[in-house]
Amino acid sequence: VCEKKQKLNFYGRRKGRKLRQGRQAQIQEKLPRVLIPICPGEEQLDPMSLFYPPVKDVWMEIGFGAGEHLAYHASTNPDIGFLGIEPFINGVASLLSKMERQDLNNVRLLNDDVRLLLCNLASNSLGRVFILFPDPWPKKRHRKRRLFSNALLDKLSQQMRP
């Protein structure tokens, strides 16, 4: 999963319909404030350091879609930090809107491939990981496109606390 030389192939859509002006403004103004930094090289990212005030635990959702599940958990668990990973920019814009409406300050986002973050995340740093609808690639010949794999599960097992 973390080969630095290996190019990560991504097969999903990154953008759907054109964003409305308000959503585009949210992406430009709010996303940089909550964006998870990807550290090149060997530097390990402690996800607890992304949150102020400090949080008790960090949970991650991979592929949050429009963000309903993530926003619900973030609002009901204000003492937990949430990492939301979604490459589809329209979904990111939708969650940013929910975060503003519900005044959620315990969410950090990455609008890219989760494998980039997993390569830099400190071991035993996640309490829970949500992957609700993992792969829209049902055919056997699409196996290479699937994110959900033994390699991903191995990496997640290193990042999660026992």
Vertex 92 angle, CA 136 and 144, to 5°: 30
Catalytic residue among 46, 57, 135, 154: 135
Instruction: Respond yes or no on whether the N-terminal peptide bond of residue 53 is cis (omega within 30° of 0).
Output: yes
Classify residue 45 by its DSSP letter.
B
Using the structure block, give the residue that is written with the tokens 């759907």. 16
Q: How far is CA 106 from the centre of its chain?
A: 13
Q: Report the candidate in 17, 41, 45, 11 with the shortest Cα–Cα distance to residue 113.
A: 11
Question: Would residue 46 show up in a list of annotated catalytic residues for this protein?
Answer: no
> Is 109 within 8 Å of 95 (Cβ atoms)?
yes
Q: Report the candidate in 107, 67, 64 with the shortest Cα–Cα distance to residue 86.
A: 64
Q: Spell out the residues 6+ positions from residue 97 whose beta carbon is closer than 8 angstroms to its own.
A: 23, 26
Q: Spell out the residues 6+ positions from residue 32 whose beta carbon is closer than 8 angstroms to its own.
A: none
Which of the residues are catalytic? 135
